[in-house]
Every structure is written in C-alpha cells, then in structure tokens.
Amino acid sequence: MNNNPPQLNIDISLSYSQFNLVINQAIPLTGITGIFGHSASGKSTLLRAISGLEKSVFGNISLGKIKLVCTEQKVYLKPEARHVGLVFQNSRLFDHLTVLGNLEYAVKRCKNNQLFIDDIIELTKLKTLLNNHINELSGGQQQRVALARAILAEPNLLLLDEPLSALDQQSKTQLLTMMLAIQKQLNLPILYVSHSLDELQQVCDNLLVMAQGKVKEFGNIHQVIHNLNHQLGDDLIAQQTSLSLPITKLCDGYGLTTLTLQDKQKIYLEYDASFKDKINNGELRCFILASDVSVTLTEPTNSSIVNHLCGTINAIKQNNNKVLLTVNCGEQNFYVAISAFSQQKLALIVQQQIYLQFKASAVRTFIH
Amino acid sequence: MINSDLQALITTLEMAALTTIILLIIGTPLAWYLAKMTSRSKVIIEAIVALPLVLPPTVLGFYLLIAFSPEYLPGQLWQQTTGQQLAFSFSAIVIGSVLYSLPFVVQPLQKAFEQLGDSLLEAGALLNAGPIDRFFSIVLPLTKASFITAATLGFAHTVGEFGIILMIGGNIPGETRVLSIALFDHVEAFDYTRAHILSIGLLIGSLIILAAIYWLNLPKRAGTKTTLIGKAN
C-alpha cells in the first residue's frame, strides 16, 4: 500500500531553435510549490507544458494517476480535458463579460460543481465588483477575478504564472494572503512561478529552481533558499536565513513579538496586531537578510539590538571583498554577510563560537 | 414595367442574402485558417482570396461561364445532379457572387481573428471550454462587429455586381435579372427616368449600408475594431 501523496511526475523535453527544456522531476501535490528562475529559464514553458498549451512536448507528464502526456502511447490530453487551472501574468479576463460573467463562465463549464460561487467570491473579496466591467478594475482586482475564475473551474492543480509581477506591493501582499487561505481551505495544490524570492519565501512549501531549461534545485523552501545563498553574483537572490517559527508571545507595549527557535532561543520581531490570531497557532514565515546580521565575539548584553544568538561558524566563503558566514545556532543555520575587513579584524575561523546580532526590524515578513 | 424592376429587386435581394449566408459559412473557417496559419505559403491562399479585388469581373465571369457550361466537368456534374443547366441560372449567379465577394467577408474576419490572438482562447480552454464552445462564447462575441461588417460588405458588394452576372447569368427576368442589369437595360433603352430611380435607390442604399458599417466600427469600450478594406464597387 502506497501512502505517499500523489505527485506531478514530469519527464519531458522540448526544444525551440535556441532553447531546450529538459525536465525530469516529481513534485508532491501538496501545498504550494514555487518555481524560481531568471527570465527565459523555462518557468513559463514548463507551466504551459503541464497545462497543455505547449504542444511540442516529448515524454511523460502525469498528474496523480492521470496521464496528461505520454508520447510513447500517443496520449496528449487537450487543455480542456486536463483539469489544470492557470492564472497568467496578464489576467486574460473576457472583457465582453462582467466580473460575475467571467466567474459564471468557469462555473458553467465545471463538471464537479463542488464549490459554491458565493464562497469563492467571499474568499477573493469580489462581492462589490460583481457587476463591474473588466476595464473598470485595477490590476490587483483583475488578478483576483482571474484567481477566482480559475478556482471555480475546480482544477486538480492550479498553476500561477507570475500573477503578481505587475502589481504594487499592497496588492501583492493581499493576493499572497488570499492564495495561502485558498490553498489551505480548498486543499488545492499550487505551482507558483515567480522571479521574486521574497514572494516565494512567504508562501511556498517547496521550491524548484530552474536555469537554462533545467532543474537546478528542488526541495524544502528553506533548504533551497539557503542553498541559493552560495550562488554568487545573482541579482535576484538576496542572501538570507529563511525561517518558519511559532509565535509565542506578543508585547504590544514593548512593540515586540516573540518567536521561538527550536523551543529554546527567542527571536524578536516588530509587533503587528495581525499576529494575535497566530499565537500558538501555526508558524510565521520570516526571513533575515544576511546583510542585516552582524557578529561579535562576546555576548552583546548592553546593546539596543534585541536579537543575539550564540552559534558556531560552520563555513566561511569569501567572494572578492565579501564574506558569507554560515553559523550554526542549535540545529538552525544562520547566514551572515560581512566584509573581508571585518573577518580579518575579528580573525574569524571555522568552528569558532560567536554571537550574532540583528534588530527586531531585520526579521522580515510581509504577509501574516 | 415597374413590376419588372420590383422583380429585379427581389432577385437581387434573394441572391445577396443567399450569397451572404454562404459566404459567412465558408468564409469564417477560411478566415480562421488564414489567421492561425503560420506557414509563409499562406500568402498564396490570401492572394487567391483577394483576386476579385483586382481582377476585372469579366475575367472571372468568362472562366466561370466556361466551367458552368455542359461541356466541362463542373457544369456536367451540376446537370447530372440537378437535371438543370448551371450556366444562366440563379444558382450560377449565386456561385459567381460567392467567389467574387469572398475577400469582402474573409479579410475583415481574418483581421479580427488575428487581432483577437490566442491568449483568451487559451484561457477559455483552461476553463474546460472545447473549441466549438470557445468559438461561440469568446470569438463570436468579441468579433461581433467584424462579423456584421463582413456580412454587410458581402451583401452590399453582391448587390452591386454587374459584369460577372452579365457573363454567367445573362438577363433572365425572375431568374438572373438583377438591379444592376435592369439599370443597364434602362440606359440602353434611353429610359433615363427609370434608370435614375434605380441609380438613386442603389446609391442611397449603399450609402446607408456603408455609414452603418463605419458607425459599427467607431471605437467602443469592448469588441474588436476592424477596418474597411477592398475597393469600392
């Protein structure tokens, strides 16, 4: 008896004149899987291949037990038969229909009809916009309609192709929060393509990194982000420590929230009223940029900087005049970016015990 | 005598209506095919479709007259199937009109389908809509103005035909005698009063139709804007 969760199995190749995509990867159909990479790395092409919009695919794609593509057996399911939803970068709404008309378009063609349109309207906060025409909506509103429409088709897998790239930060945060809520409530597996590591860090369980049409990394989101820290000279990658930690205490008067690292050490971040719902209820996704962390050789007890952790240097990696330290605190690795000057001044070496310090404001999270 | 003009008007409207319906039925898939075709060889099909725009109607009429005659295969097949001669029949002028007005229907539709692109159709497919469903639920509503333009242009151009009908239809009252032929008859008979009546009627009718098309093509909130193409006839 196989108790493993169903998987999306991809073993495909396709080529254009100057681009080859070769992917052999199994992706668990749970939670949100991020797909990260530069432009022209093949992210969107992969989504188009899974959804059936890319016809020149060779190999196999199966979604759970359903074969979407099997070149050997001449199986090629049309997009309309795959039950795979896709939200594009540009919303692709039908502008001859109202918002409600767009949602009903999906409902009318859905064979399961397990979802109630009113529930999805509520979830995507579209109630006041139902009778609006598409060109009366802002970019963020259009993407919300596109998301709701895709969900109402009740796909077995939802693909999101950079749906936030044209939106402002506020709309991004709102949509990311919505995506998380949708994923949890509907238990809908999502593949989410983005070239923003921040966005992916906030919502994804797993991360797949693509470059030049191939998979470079795949695994747990924190682990893959930490692996990316060692990829040098990439503008899209900000070296960071990526964490999911439980909120254990809120101190409104002090303006601080307390997170607990492995039941032992405390990490403080700035207070936010929305954290109230999260106390002892799930974990908060946050990250600390390596450049926001500094190092001392003695415990900084007389500092206004609230976070200081004791750890051991695991690795020192120098690139020109910059140094990336991997510091082990308990079982958690933290990443610290310092100058070569500081490293020499403190004479840092591997296995040395040091203290990390960073301000509460350096612990970043933008959706709660 | 007035009755004969009325008869010509009825024949003209019947011919134009039937031609328009046939043109929409065959012109839509042809325009779709041309819009989606990526091969460079599509220019050959486009050129063939556009031929009536530049060719003297009598050239097309001449070849159709030969093809429709009982000595040649199309004419023979028609006669075997229907028992009637094809040349100088109502069917002949409808077939001639379909060929002659083809670009007036195909070109606006092709432009509209090209402008529409694939993105919305892909979105429809991912919402479980099949190809026929997508055509009626996405393509047709978004290119409605172009369909009306194509139908109106096809109809108006058919009403205005002369040369090709004279070649393959002759001048049989109630069968192939259409308004443009009736007008020619009146001029030949120096009956300028009735020629004036028909001319003014055709002129105003054509003006109204063209104004309606331009009105339909005024920029609107939604829908695909198309442009008029082809030559005035």
Domain count, chain B: 1
Nearest to B125 among A80, A106, A133 (CB): A80
Q: For residue B84, what pLDDT band results from cuts at 50, 70 and 90? A: confident
Q: Which of A57-71, A171-185, A223-237 has the highest mean pLDDT?
A: A57-71
Pairs across A and B, CB distance < 8 A: 63
- Measured CA to CA, the distance from residue A47 to residue A54 in angstroms comes to 9
Average of per-residue pLDDT across B162-176: 85
Asked if B223 reaches chain A (Cβ–Cβ under 8 Å), the answer is yes
| A123, pLDDT greater than 50 | yes
| A280, pLDDT greater than 80 | no
Residues ≥6 apart with Cβ < 8 Å to A235? none
Asked if B222 reaches chain A (Cβ–Cβ under 8 Å), the answer is yes
Nearest to B141 among A83, A96, A153 (CB): A96
- Measured CA to CA, the distance from residue A257 to residue A269 in angstroms comes to 5
Asked if A53 reaches chain B (Cβ–Cβ under 8 Å), the answer is yes
**Given this model, what pLDDT does residue A64 score?**
93
| Distance (Å) of CA A165 to CA A49, A138, A150, A160 | 21, 14, 18, 11
CATH number of the domain encompassing residue B20: 1.10.3720.10
**Given this model, what pLDDT does residue B1 score?**
45
Q: Spell out the SS3 assignment of chain B.
A: CHHHHHHHHHHHHHHHHHHHHHHHHHHHHHHHHHHHCCCCCHHHHHHHHHHHHHCCHHHHHHHHHHHHCCCCHHHHHHHHHHCCCCCCCHHHHHHHHHHHHHHHHHHHHHHHHHHHCCHHHHHHHCCCCCHHHHHHHHHHHHCHHHHHHHHHHHHHHHHCCCHHHHHHCCCCCCCCCCHHHHHHHHHHCCCHHHHHHHHHHHHHHHHHHHHHHHHHCCCCCCCCCCCCCCCCC
Q: For residue B215, what pLDDT band results from cuts at 50, 70 and 90? A: confident
Which positions in chain A touch B141 (Cβ < 8 Å)? 96
**Given this model, what pLDDT does residue A262 score?**
83
List the end-to-end C-alpha distance of chain A, in Å, as a whole number. Answer: 38
Cβ–Cβ below 8 Å for B128 and A78: no
**Given this model, what pLDDT does residue B88 score?**
87
| Distance (Å) of CA A255 to CA A64, A219, A272, A273, A302 | 47, 35, 8, 10, 19
Range of the domain at B102: 2-216
Which of B36, B122, B126 would best serve as a mutation to test chain A binding (most A beta carbons within 10 A)? B126
Enumerate residues 72 to 91 of chain B having a beta carbon within 8 A of any beta carbon in chain A: none
- Measured CA to CA, the distance from residue A246 to residue A248 in angstroms comes to 6
Tokens 């009598």 appear where?
B58
Residue B226 inside a domain? The answer is: no
Token digits of residue A27: 């992706």
Average pLDDT, chain B: 88
| B38, pLDDT greater than 70 | yes
**Given this model, what pLDDT does residue A192 score?**
96
**Given this model, what pLDDT does residue B100 score?**
92
Cβ–Cβ below 8 Å for A94 and B126: no
| Distance (Å) of CA B179 to CA A189, A229, A250, B64, B228 | 67, 82, 89, 21, 25
Task: Return the CATH number of A241-364, one of 1.10.3210.10, 2.40.50.100, 3.40.50.11720, 3.50.50.60.
Answer: 2.40.50.100
| B224, pLDDT greater than 80 | no
Average of per-residue pLDDT across A196-211: 93
Tokens 């044209």 appear where?
A166
Cβ–Cβ below 8 Å for A79 and B126: yes
Q: For residue A131, what pLDDT band results from cuts at 50, 70 and 90? A: very high
Cβ–Cβ below 8 Å for B129 and A109: yes
Give the CA dihedral B8, B163, B105, B103, nearest 10 degrees.
180
Which positions in chain B touch A86 (Cβ < 8 Å)? 123, 126
Cβ–Cβ below 8 Å for A109 and B127: yes
Enumerate residues 89 to 148 of chain B having a beta carbon within 8 A of any beta carbon in chain A: 119-120, 122-130, 133, 137-138, 141-142
Residue B232 inside a domain? The answer is: no
Neighbouring-strand partners of residue A296? A355
Token digits of residue B109: 């539709």
- By C-alpha distance, the chain A residue nearest B143 is A96
What number is the ipTM of this complex? Answer: 0.87
Q: What DSSP character marks residue A54? A: -
Look at residues A34, A362, A39, A366 and name the one whose alpha carbon lies nearest to residue A171.
A366
Asked if B38 reaches chain A (Cβ–Cβ under 8 Å), the answer is no
Tokens 């966005």 appear where?
A199
Q: What pLDDT, in 10s, does the model give residues B1-34?
A: 467 888 888 999 999 999 999 999 999 999 999 9
- Tell me the nearest-neighbour CA distance from B30 into chain A, angstroms: 23
CB A33, CB A215: distance < 8 Å: no
Q: What DSSP character marks residue A279? A: B
**Given this model, what pLDDT does residue B225 score?**
41
CATH number of A7-232: 3.40.50.300
- Measured CA to CA, the distance from residue B35 to residue A272 in angstroms comes to 55
Token digits of residue A54: 């890319």
Enumerate residues 258 to 287 of chain A having a beta carbon within 8 A of any beta carbon in chain B: none
Average of per-residue pLDDT across A110-134: 90
Asked if B40 reaches chain A (Cβ–Cβ under 8 Å), the answer is no
| A20, pLDDT greater than 70 | yes
Q: What DSSP character marks residue A196? A: -
- Measured CA to CA, the distance from residue A249 to residue A258 in angstroms comes to 5
**Given this model, what pLDDT does residue A47 score?**
96
**Given this model, what pLDDT does residue A368 score?**
60
- Measured CA to CA, the distance from residue A13 to residue A252 in angstroms comes to 54
- Cα A8 to the center of its chain, rounded Å: 18
Residue B225 inside a domain? The answer is: no
Average of per-residue pLDDT across A132-161: 94
Q: What pLDDT, in 10s, does the model give residues A210-261?
A: 999 999 999 999 999 999 998 877 778 889 999 999 998 888 788 899 999 8
Average pLDDT, chain A: 91
Neighbouring-strand partners of residue A284? A245
Specify the pairing of strand A240-251 against strand A256-261. antiparallel
Look at residues A299, A278, A267 and name the one whose alpha carbon lies nearest to residue A364.
A267
Which of B121, B128, B136, B140 would best serve as a mutation to test chain A binding (most A beta carbons within 10 A)? B128
- Measured CA to CA, the distance from residue B222 to residue B37 in angstroms comes to 26
Average of per-residue pLDDT across A27-49: 94
| B125, pLDDT greater than 90 | yes
Which positions in chain B touch A84 (Cβ < 8 Å)? 126
Strand, helix or coil for residue A205: coil
Residue B227 inside a domain? The answer is: no
- Measured CA to CA, the distance from residue B34 to residue B203 in angstroms comes to 33
Residue B50 inside a domain? The answer is: yes
Average of per-residue pLDDT across A130-139: 93
- Measured CA to CA, the distance from residue A187 to residue A23 in angstroms comes to 26
CB A37, CB A211: distance < 8 Å: yes
Average of per-residue pLDDT across A322-341: 94
Cβ–Cβ below 8 Å for A109 and B141: no
Nearest to A109 among B128, B221, B222 (CB): B128
| A179, pLDDT greater than 80 | yes
Cβ–Cβ below 8 Å for B222 and A133: yes
Enumerate residues 97 to 136 of chain A having a beta carbon within 8 A of any beta carbon in chain B: 105-106, 109-111, 133, 135
Greater confidence, A143 or A166? A143
Residue B19 inside a domain? The answer is: yes
Look at residues B44, B3, B7 and name the one whose alpha carbon lies nearest to residue B179.
B7
Tokens 């060692």 appear where?
A230
Average of per-residue pLDDT across B108-132: 95
Nearest to A80 among B128, B137, B221 (CB): B128
Cβ–Cβ below 8 Å for A105 and B137: yes
Domain range list for chain A: 7-232, 241-364
Token digits of residue B16: 């134009």
| B83, pLDDT greater than 90 | no
- Measured CA to CA, the distance from residue B98 to residue B81 in angstroms comes to 20
- Measured CA to CA, the distance from residue A87 to residue A140 in angstroms comes to 13
Cβ–Cβ below 8 Å for B119 and A90: yes
CB B183, CB B198: distance < 8 Å: yes
Nearest to B142 among A78, A90, A96 (CB): A96
Enumerate residues 212 to 241 of chain A having a beta carbon within 8 A of any beta carbon in chain B: none
- Measured CA to CA, the distance from residue B23 to residue B32 in angstroms comes to 13
**Given this model, what pLDDT does residue A234 score?**
76
Asked if A88 reaches chain B (Cβ–Cβ under 8 Å), the answer is yes
- By C-alpha distance, the chain A residue nearest B140 is A96
